[in-house]
Structure 1
Amino acid sequence: MNKIYKEPPNNDINKINIDKNLVEIAGLHSYKHLISKSKFEVNGTEYLVLHTHYNDPTGLDALTVRNEVTKEISIAYVGTDAAAENGRQDLLTDVQLLSDLTLPQLEAAEEYLNKINERFKDQGGVSSVTGNSLGGPLANYAVRNRPDIKSVTLNPALFPKGVMDPDKSYDNITNYFTNYDVLTGTLIALDLDSRIPGKRYDISTGIPQTGEGFNILKNNHTGYIEDGKYEIGQPGTPGHGYIYDEADAHIMTSIWTGEPLYSGHSDRIDINRDNLNLLAEALAGDVLTRLTQAQEYLTHSEEIAQHEGDRYAERLNRLQMVFEDSFENLIGNPLFIGITTTSHRLTSEIDHLISLVNMAENASRSLNGVLNSPPVELVEHLFNRSISVESIFGQARSQLLEFKGEIASLTGFLQNILHKEIPELFSGGRETFEDLLVNDMLEHYKIIDYNTAKLNSNIAEFQSQVAKLGENFGERDASLSASISSGASVQHTVAMPKKNEYVLEASDHMLIGMKMKEVILEGSFESFKGASHGLLLPLLGSLTGLAFAIENTLEIISAQIKGAMNIALSGTVPGKIISIFSDFDDKIRSYVSSALEPIDELAATIEGLRDGLTRLTIGFPALLESFKPYINAAIFDSTGYANIHLYNVSAIAIHKEMELLFDDIVYQLSHQKGKSIEALCEISKRLKNNMIQLRQQVDRVTL
């Protein structure tokens, strides 16, 4: 496993700082079903498995290990393992922890501690226990009456009701809660965490819930992930990288004493050569490693933001295509396909409809020629009635031309939507074409980059100053020793560290943080919706009204043509006489058919167009609402946005941990004798303040 965290190469620290090792054993190694006499490594320290206890009828699984550097013996209680031989007992115990029952597995955990403590008493007995999940209450229960034995747990389950003594502080028990663990989060929400004895320290590790589902929940609970890292993105894509997720790396302890720094400062130490050297080693080692990791996370975030900027045209084009497709699909009439372009099919179709009017009109003229023949004039004379169908065709043609003009207006409206309103969606409703969120993020990241480089220089100089002061202290001690031996006066002076200014650049970008995306979305959408409704609905009303008018005109034309035929072929005596001596009936029916066929086709087409316009009128508000998620994704890709969040929360976690560490450094350097130490203290204060400023800037680009 490639761990990014390594203990300083100092055995004294390794001996003191056991919390990190116990957390890793509980969350990682205890689940590996290790066998007796096997060895494994934790933070550069070798551990030997002295004894294992598996397949207990109560479901208890535990192992005893020895730190081969300190020779301290620890017991690790295995957490819930449903796949184990008696794993069902684990699940039963998990449920029963909510009750006030006396649980066999808890009793078995205490019995195992007593057994191992007796067995290895010649080696000092058991000094500590640990456990994750169900292993937490097992470990805590076993030492609840043993203040001489330390318990360190990770995301522990609770005690059964009534087990905790309200008058005891359980100072020997330390529980680490990770911020994305569902179990401890639920316990806190239900106010049940009060049934977990001892101290509680919150550490920032884990991955916010994503589409990974159960695996992420499990890893967040155990504090560890396969290979120690979580992959973000795909190889070769912008922002691809890894988040290193190991709970022990996020436990902040004193550089000098190994004490956890969550409940206050570490015990006071003397600032001497050795302790200055320890500080210099830590600054060049773990501090640099951790801050370099945070910087790598931020670099990946910036790559994602830059990639979004580079694909602005693609995001815009996709949004335009989605709107076009949604608009055309809602109408549901193939004649509207391509309506957003000036050369769309509907324009030529209307020209075809006008040609149908012309065809019907020509057929009607031929019909009039027959109707005005001498036999019919005889009929007109008899009935005193004139038959003509030509006058109304001009009205139909005029209405179709007006409809064509309104369709052109609709196309103009859509082009305005596509090429003005949709680009403005990226600028929060402003009348400007600007990729506002991405541009602001990139400008902010430039400042973060600059400040990160300046902070790194600040730390490097501080480390050098600490190391040199340590050397000076050593030289002073040597000079003092020599002067005592020779009787000569001490000539050595300690150099004063320079208080160079490292002022970070302020940023006026991302002032409302990542809420900016929501603000842009809401502002853009409301503006877009208002403009769309305000312009489209009157157009749709006009087009629908025209369609109805054209249909009415066509019905009148059809009725007049059919009426003419009915009069001519009414079955009157003169008509019957005429039909006997001519093909009058056949001519009438032929011309009527020629006139009605184009009218019927035209009427069917107009009806289809009107139905589509009606669907669009009714469904357009819903279309806009369904379009909103696409706007959200176009402003900034949802996956990239989430990945920036993952990277940045991990970077912020490291920054907060370093702030905690430097707070202790400032504390230890304060109230010390000597102007050189006072100067170092002042430098460390400024450094800590710069860390806080940088972390706050990163927080602006984090959800």
Structure 2
Amino acid sequence: MSNKTKNAENKRPISQDKNLVELAGYHAYNMPDEKESVYVNEYKYTVVNKIKDNKNGLDAMTVKNLETGEYTIVYQGTNLDNGDQDLDADKDLAIGRTHEQFKAARDYFDKIKKEYGDKLTSVCGNSLGGGLANYVAVKHSDLKCVTINPSVLPEGEVDHDEDYPNITNYFSKYDPLTSAETGAMIADRIPGKVIEIDNGVPLISSILSNHMGYKMGEIDDKDQTVEIGEEGEPGHGKVYVSASDHIVTSIWTGEPLYGNIGSTKIEINKASLDLLAKSLETDVMRRLGYVSEYIENSNEIVKHEQKMKPKRKADLQEKVADFFESAFGDPLFTGITQAANLLKSFIDQIIDWVDMAEEKFRSLNSILNSPPAELIEHITQTDISVESICDGIRGFLRDIKDGIDDLSNVLKGLITEGISHVFVNPVNGLTDAVADEVYKHLVIVGKNEKQLKSQLSTFIKQVNAAATGFQNSDQGAANDIRNRKAPKEQKTSVPASVQAECEQSDYLKDRLKVKAQHVDSSLLNFLSSVSLFLNPVLGSTYRTLVVFEAFMEKAIIDVKAVAVAGSIPDKLIGLFTDWDGKIEKSINGVVKDLEQVESDTEKYRKGVESITQCLSNLPLLIKEFKPYIDTAIFEPLGFSNINIYNTAAVSTLEETELLFLDIVYQLSDHKGKAIQALCHTAEAIVKTLRLFRDDVSRATM
């Protein structure tokens, strides 16, 4: 920590890191023409030189900060418009080889250094451009180098005994390149210090902006946002992703606030307090404004989800009903989860066939009893028991029909009551478990947010009052000196601090894992209910059908036996030429009806067998039901967006906390009572920020 103090003028300090990151991640790819100017965080830079070497792929520009007079070289990262050269350079890096583009980067630096000398103070770049900037900076310890998501250097270019304090590399939280470099254990080929910043969003569509730190092609480069959700839908909004906006720097010095090294100690005076008040009213309140947007958008999503619970429930019931009906494997079972009308009509149709078959039975018996008297004794031995067969079939069909009612009632119960229980958390009494818990949590977050803003608003008033006190003290002392009086002690009136009464949320103790946990538990509970209530009915029905089919097989065999037992002896065959034909025709008609009943009953039995086998396969059931239940508990995209919003809010609060830790540090160890009071209030705000951040973090994954 430096013991020197620094006067803070009442204007925004320059933050080189912020500016260099924006030049590297955004303006390098737009590559303005020579003599063209761009504004970076309100500072004007003019392009004084450009290079586009088609031979080795190097693209770079030199810009001048018109306020400081300093020059910076900005190296462009991988650009597919450069043909294969940039890709070849990336491939060479992967195997540790030095591509010609790296040598060209040093040559370009030497050229600009020769022209501008010590006024060339920095280099920067993103991706491959970051690697090029670092490749130059490792050879020039007096050269400031800032990169955003840089590539590694060629093998052997980094001295691992060297700290390279002149080099700072910012890694974006969701950057795929630096994540891959770290995972591949080659991040040690990136020199200097590494600082992770929380810009970007965890979306596939944002991979490029996550890597570059900025969205390209924006009309207004200050509007660096990623759209979340669809326009017109609940929770539609944006997340602010500008990399430079997520680099936290001192309000007074512009120095990055990371690690154990704080910013240079400043002198507390009216100017420094005015700058503090101004920054609180603009930068800090802007950051908290982002947090408010994120929380409000999360609220919209949750409230909409609660409102849609009847539809979510109805959709799940429909999906589960479709599953059960399709699992039987035959259209015959369509509607069984409701009133089973089709299947019961099918049984009624079979009963009608039995009635018709009974008439054919009686007709057959009539034929069998019609031969001459001397054959009556022989033929009547084959008489068919119409009552035993037909009444037996009807009895079985009545039992089957009752089984259909039982099956239908159980399925209806599972789909109505069983599905209703899927949404409930009986432990905390929530009827829409996940949506209700997230909502109750966000209510507490909203109350704490108001407490924080009230505390901060009072702090701003206190800072302004303290600044006025400094001015009055100076003026009073000057008047006393002019009047040749000893300066009197000046008193400063500072508004009383607001004591934040924040409520600690008791919800979402496992963060947004609550959904996955509830889906898993409710799924298992539902499947247990299916097994408990449905399997006994299926088992009973299946056994009835198996016995019935055996009964039908025997009945068919008995009828077919008549053809043999009732045939005419050979010695009499000439007397009854048409009698055998009548018997065969009549028997065939009866058998055909019996076989039709057996065949149709087999469909029902196979359907019951199919769903029984399906329900015995737990992994299959989980695979089938889980997506439906997951969607019904809370729509996945909306739930994911809540995570995105609250993750962004947590990042913003962490950044705000860093700012206030620096404020506390700068206000500490001051003899003035007003400044001591401000320091105590700043410390209290840090505590509130931490509590608030912890609560907000519960609504993240």
Task: Name the TM tier (shorter chain).
Answer: over 0.9
Q: Which amino acid aligns with 1:535?
A: F
* 1:609 paired residue number: 604
Task: Report how far residue 662 of structure 1 moved.
Answer: 0.8
Task: Report how far residue 497 of structure 1 moved.
Answer: 4.2
CA 1:598–1:680: 2 relative to 1, 3 Å: same
Correspondence list, 1:287-306, <5 A = 287-306=284-303
**Separation (CA, whole Å) in 2 of partners of 1:556 and 1:378:** 30
- Write out per-residue CA displacement over residues 24-68 of structure 1, whole angstroms, 9 at most, x where no aligned residue: 110011011321111112112221111100024222110001112
**Separation (CA, whole Å) in 2 of partners of 1:678 and 1:431:** 45
Residue pair 1:132, 1:155 contacting (<8 A) in 2 also: yes
* 2:385 paired residue number: 389
Unaligned runs of 5+ in 1: 1-8
Identity of aligned residues (%): 36
Q: Is it true that 1:318 corresponds to 2:315 in the alignment? A: yes
Task: Report how far residue 573 of structure 1 moved.
Answer: 3.4
Correspondence list, 1:635-650, <5 A = 635-650=633-648
* 1:3 paired residue number: none
- Write out per-residue CA displacement over residues 472-497 of structure 1, whole angstroms, 9 at most, x where no aligned residue: 11111111112111223445311244
* 1:193 paired residue number: 187
**DSSP 3-state at the match of 1:308:** helix
Task: Report how far residue 433 of structure 1 moved.
Answer: 7.8
**Separation (CA, whole Å) in 2 of partners of 1:234 and 1:103:** 44
Structure 1 counterpart of 2:215, from 209, 225, 233: 225
Correspondence list, 1:106-505, <5 A = 106-121=102-117, 124-210=118-204, 212=205, 216-226=206-216, 227=218, 228-263=224-259, 264-373=261-370, 375=372, 378-382=374-378, 385-390=381-386, 391-428=388-425, 434-491=431-488, 492-505=490-503
* 1:45 paired residue number: 43
Deviates more, 1:442-451 or 1:351-360: 351-360
**DSSP 3-state at the match of 1:28:** helix
Deviates more, 1:432-441 or 1:153-162: 432-441
Task: Report how far residue 538 of structure 1 moved.
Answer: 2.5
**DSSP 3-state at the match of 1:176:** strand
Deviates more, 1:554-563 or 1:287-296: 554-563
Deviates more, 1:284-293 or 1:621-630: 621-630
Task: Report how far residue 571 of structure 1 moved.
Answer: 5.1
Residue pair 1:379, 1:575 contacting (<8 A) in 2 also: no
Unaligned runs of 5+ in 2: 1-7, 219-223
Task: Report how far residue 595 of structure 1 moved.
Answer: 2.5
CA 1:431–1:384: 2 relative to 1, 3 Å: farther
* 2:92 paired residue number: 96
Task: Report how far residue 74 of structure 1 moved.
Answer: 0.6
* 1:6 paired residue number: none
**Separation (CA, whole Å) in 1 of partners of 2:428 and 2:290:** 41
**DSSP 3-state at the match of 1:130:** strand
**Separation (CA, whole Å) in 2 of partners of 1:239 and 1:571:** 91
**Separation (CA, whole Å) in 2 of partners of 1:592 and 1:80:** 87
Q: Which amino acid aligns with 1:597?
A: K
**DSSP 3-state at the match of 1:302:** helix
- Write out per-residue CA displacement over residues 666-703 of structure 1, whole angstroms, 9 at most, x where no aligned residue: 11111111221111111111111111111111111111
* 2:513 paired residue number: 515
Correspondence list, 1:529-568, <5 A = 529-568=527-566
CA 1:429–1:389: 2 relative to 1, 3 Å: farther
Task: Report how far residue 374 of structure 1 moved.
Answer: 5.1
CA 1:369–1:320: 2 relative to 1, 3 Å: same
CA 1:570–1:475: 2 relative to 1, 3 Å: farther
Residue pair 2:227, 2:236 contacting (<8 A) in 1 also: yes
Task: Report how far residue 133 of structure 1 moved.
Answer: 0.6
**DSSP 3-state at the match of 2:12:** helix
Deviates more, 1:54-63 or 1:171-180: 54-63
- Write out per-residue CA displacement over residues 320-347 of structure 1, whole angstroms, 9 at most, x where no aligned residue: 1111111111212111000011252111
**Separation (CA, whole Å) in 1 of partners of 2:232 and 2:395:** 61
**DSSP 3-state at the match of 1:168:** coil
Q: Which amino acid aligns with 1:257?
A: T
Deviates more, 1:516-525 or 1:252-261: 516-525
Residue pair 2:130, 2:150 contacting (<8 A) in 1 also: yes
- Write out per-residue CA displacement over residues 50-104 of structure 1, whole angstroms, 9 at most, x where no aligned residue: 11000242221100011122222111001111222xx422112222224454442
Residue pair 1:389, 1:561 contacting (<8 A) in 2 also: no
Task: Report how far residue 570 of structure 1 moved.
Answer: 4.5
Q: Which amino acid aligns with 1:171?
A: P
* 1:13 paired residue number: 12
The alignment's TM-score, normalised by the length of structure 2, stands at: 0.93
* 1:506 paired residue number: 504
Residue pair 2:458, 2:498 contacting (<8 A) in 1 also: no
Q: Which amino acid aligns with 1:246?
A: S
Count of matched residue positions in the alignment of Structure 1 and Structure 2: 682
**Separation (CA, whole Å) in 1 of partners of 2:374 and 2:124:** 117
Task: Report how far residue 261 of structure 1 moved.
Answer: 0.4
**Separation (CA, whole Å) in 2 of partners of 1:671 and 1:449:** 35
Residue pair 2:71, 2:122 contacting (<8 A) in 1 also: yes
- Write out per-residue CA displacement over residues 367-386 of structure 1, whole angstroms, 9 at most, x where no aligned residue: 212222353x6434247824
**DSSP 3-state at the match of 1:282:** helix
**Separation (CA, whole Å) in 1 of partners of 2:453 and 2:135:** 45
Task: Report how far residue 275 of structure 1 moved.
Answer: 0.8
**Separation (CA, whole Å) in 1 of partners of 2:362 and 2:180:** 85
Deviates more, 1:548-557 or 1:282-291: 548-557
Residue pair 2:325, 2:337 contacting (<8 A) in 1 also: no
CA 1:266–1:144: 2 relative to 1, 3 Å: same
Task: Report how far residue 623 of structure 1 moved.
Answer: 3.7
**DSSP 3-state at the match of 1:225:** coil
Deviates more, 1:589-598 or 1:41-50: 589-598
Residue pair 2:10, 2:274 contacting (<8 A) in 1 also: no
Root-mean-square deviation (CA, aligned residues, Å) is 2.1
Q: Which amino acid aligns with 1:349?
A: F
**Separation (CA, whole Å) in 2 of partners of 1:428 and 1:610:** 38
CA 1:408–1:432: 2 relative to 1, 3 Å: farther
